[in-house]
Amino acid sequence: MRLSVCLDPARPWADALALAQHAESVGLHGVWVCDHFMPYGGEGLPAAGPVLEGWTVLAAVAARTTRIRLGTLVLGASYRHPAVVAKMAATLDQVSDGRLTLGLGAGWQPNEHTAYGIELLPPAARLERFEEYVAAIRSLLRKPSTTVDGAWFRLTEATCDPPPVQRPLPLLVGGGGEQRTMRVAARHAEAWHTWATPAELARKNAVLDQRCAEVGRAPSAIARVTGDVLGPGEPAGAVQARLAGYAGAGADEFVLRDHRAQSLPEALRAVDRLVSAGQAAPG
């Protein structure tokens, strides 16, 4: 099972970079970033607090690392046109020499949509739009030209040149929805992500296997990505047992959720404990 870390965007840039570079130095598989513009606020109300823009952070990390995989967990579909996202992804894959996984999600955080005047569609329409969005990005990244005459997007012989280094550049679909989101993943993605306990992950993995069967795709074609936080005093044995539980539930990659409440030294130690536990845990 691969081990990675997802940076908390509330960290100062210097701390986020230090954590990403440490993750690379100790052999983690990947560094992920999320895609938010402000902290989550209940009842859709704007919230104050620092949040670094995820794609800018990822591009800067790409320029300051050499080996570690880079990914978005996940880009919200409501914030950027799919042609813009495809161009961003192809360029960053060039910059990073083929290290990007493009993670996409339908979008959900009400308060930032309200604050910035970005429409947050009702769930059904949001997911209809999301499938068209993912399909358009996939085509732009993999075909010489793309024409789309859809309900949500229009593209006419659109190109994405230069193309990504990776052929294909892997797509990840994020979200635990079993009826719509998993069907999008089964049709279009190389990886799927949800935050879940081992028991929840095992059940959802079985659903995703069914969605793959519906479209005639091998379940093994889609990597399963999940993760959790590590408590500052969590014993090594408990971390090992947790990793073994996730591996047994079918996780291909465990992502350590960085949290702003931890100091940078504590976050660095959490990465070290993850690496040590991963070396000792079965699977």
Average pLDDT over residues 180-193: 98
Average pLDDT over residues 192-221: 98
* pLDDT score recorded for residue 41: 86
> Is residue 82 pLDDT above 80, yes or no?
yes
pLDDT band at 80 (very low <50, low <70, confident <90, very high): very high
Q: How high is the mean pLDDT of the chain?
A: 96
> Is residue 283 pLDDT above 80, yes or no?
no
Distance, CA of 193 to CA of 212 (rounded, Å): 15
* pLDDT score recorded for residue 282: 54
* pLDDT score recorded for residue 44: 80
Average pLDDT over residues 161-171: 98
Structure confidence by residue, pLDDT tens digits, 119-165: 999 999 999 999 999 999 999 999 999 999 999 999 999 999 999 99
* pLDDT score recorded for residue 1: 96
Distance, CA of 87 to CA of 74 (rounded, Å): 17
Contact 108, 40 (CB under 8 A): no
pLDDT band at 43 (very low <50, low <70, confident <90, very high): confident
Strand 146-149 and strand 154-158: pairing? antiparallel
In the chain, domain spans: 2-280
* pLDDT score recorded for residue 233: 80
**Helical H segments across 36-180, by residue range:** 54-63, 82-95, 110-116, 123-142
160/42: higher pLDDT: 160
CATH of 2-280, one of 3.20.20.30, 3.10.129.10, 3.40.50.300, 1.20.1250.20: 3.20.20.30
Average pLDDT over residues 182-203: 98
> Is residue 110 pLDDT above 60, yes or no?
yes
Average pLDDT over residues 114-121: 95
Average pLDDT over residues 44-54: 92
pLDDT band at 272 (very low <50, low <70, confident <90, very high): very high
Which pair of structure tokens corresponds to residue 135?
């399909």
Query: Quick one: how far is CA 186 from the chain centroid?
Result: 16
The per-residue b/e assignment along 177-213, b for 16 or more CB within 10 angstroms, e otherwise, is beebbbbbbbbbbbbbbbbbebeebbebbeebbebbe
Question: What number of residues does the chain have?
Answer: 283
> Is residue 231 pLDDT above 70, yes or no?
yes
Neighbours of 117 (CB within 10 A): 6
* pLDDT score recorded for residue 214: 97
